A and B are shown apart, each in its own frame.
Chain A
Amino acid sequence: MSRDIDSVLLEYDTAADQPGGTKLADWIARYPEYQDDLIDYAYYNFVFQKGESYRRTDAKAAGYLTLAGVVRERMMAEGLYAAGRSADPLKGILIAARAQSIEPPELARRIGIGLPVVIKLDRRLIRPSTIPVELVSRIAKELQAFVSDVSAYLRRPLTLSPQANYRASSAPQVSAAQDFLDALNACADVSAEQKEFWKNESGVVLGDTE
């Protein structure tokens, strides 16, 4: 009875990992119908493990994680695997952080931005279309929140300081929010390395996933 390709390749993979390995020629002779798959599997396994890196990781390029964030947001928003709305959406970044016993300075340290930027994010004083997806993922991880909830929170209309006392019949409006990189560059407690990192991450931002 003919075996399926997965089980043949898995058996080859297991045998190749044993001390002394295994002879590819024997496998091709045993399963001639899968010779192309066996050859390519063996070849790329070798290249991935022992091959030369032909290029350094381009800091400005979108790597797997950045692209994964884009794909995830899109697939969560629509299609077969779309996620429903949360029954308990994020009430605030700082509120959620404190619920995890994380003080704001510690949150800023963990996600690699300055405290003033964290506070601006919490108040939605940063323009969502300029916020890197990688930053949203980091915030979600620290808050143990859904990435989609964090991005939805950051996209809500901006708010002003709760200490501000406005005598108005409707919620006060602010004319313009700030770009993420501008906020970061204006922040004194962010290192040059961190600024450079986020500058490179700014290629894929929340705006790209809308």
Chain B
Amino acid sequence: MKKAILWITTGVFFLGFFIPLTTAADFANEITVMTHDSFSISKAVVASFETLHNAKIRFLKAGDAGAALNQAILSKNNPLADLFFGVDNTFMSRALEADIFEAYASPLLSQIRDDLKLDPQNRLLPVDFGDVCLNYDKKWFAQKKLRPPASLEDLVKPAYRGLTVVENPATSSPGLAFLLATVGHFGENGYLDFWKEMRANDVMITSGWKEAYWGCFSAASKGRQPIVVSYASSPPAEVYYAKTPPDQAPTAAVTSDQTCFRQIEFVGIFKGTPKQDLARKLVDFMLDRKFQEDIPLQMFVFPANHSARLPEVFVKYACIADRPVQVPYAEIAAKREQWIEAWTDTVLR
């Protein structure tokens, strides 16, 4: 009997312990944004929206871009949030097929670069973009007196043997973007031949960007490879996050024609949100200059709004590819899996 009382008490204690924590407060003017782990924005920008609309923004981070989107799709009957930020053009088709976003033709779209507007129905609105491309270690190439790579074709030359590290497209989003760059560059019939030569030329493959950049790239760590697949905005990040800002970036990006893949990130309003009005205001806000000008230093990508001014470190050290590789997103949707599968067979097995 005593024992039973003990356990019941424990049980009650245990329940009492977590019930208060289980019910998330839900205010009428609170809006929830679901996003991936890399999202960032400054306090002042958030505060300016909150004061303007007398609202509160709550952010939910849900793992990497893929995991976050999948959770949004899984919970579509009972959404976790009102908006989703961070679907990119490689995952776009998955989001649109799942039909989780509602259309919103924001008036601010007139300020957005036309080449970024991929969804004619405006269920997904472009917020930022970044070019996935080759980065190289400037010091390494200067010391070895070797010409830095200028094109994708350079990578398979004997002089560049064992110099490149690439992320696995099956597990990494820059890896997938780079695979798409090669598909666009060499064509569907030629990209596998390129990768065969890459393999013969001792390309290093890692599972993700962190392992490639921090584990292998000679400019960032004590790694061996002076060429890495990263972003065109990585060099300004190297400058911005240096201990003492150097005059020159230690790395450089290769943005010559047809060598980069442009990753575009979108925002969308979840279908059936009870806070449609506020959600639309937030989308407008995200496309407006204040938010857009905050993007570069927060996430090291470029703003989608063409009137947004870039910070100095971007003006000085970053470049945008004039002609990135074009792969229509419908084609990405149809063939992504097949390309990854073929790549895996060619490079890894």
The reply to whether chain A is a binding partner of chain B is no
Interface residues of B (CB under 8 A from A): none
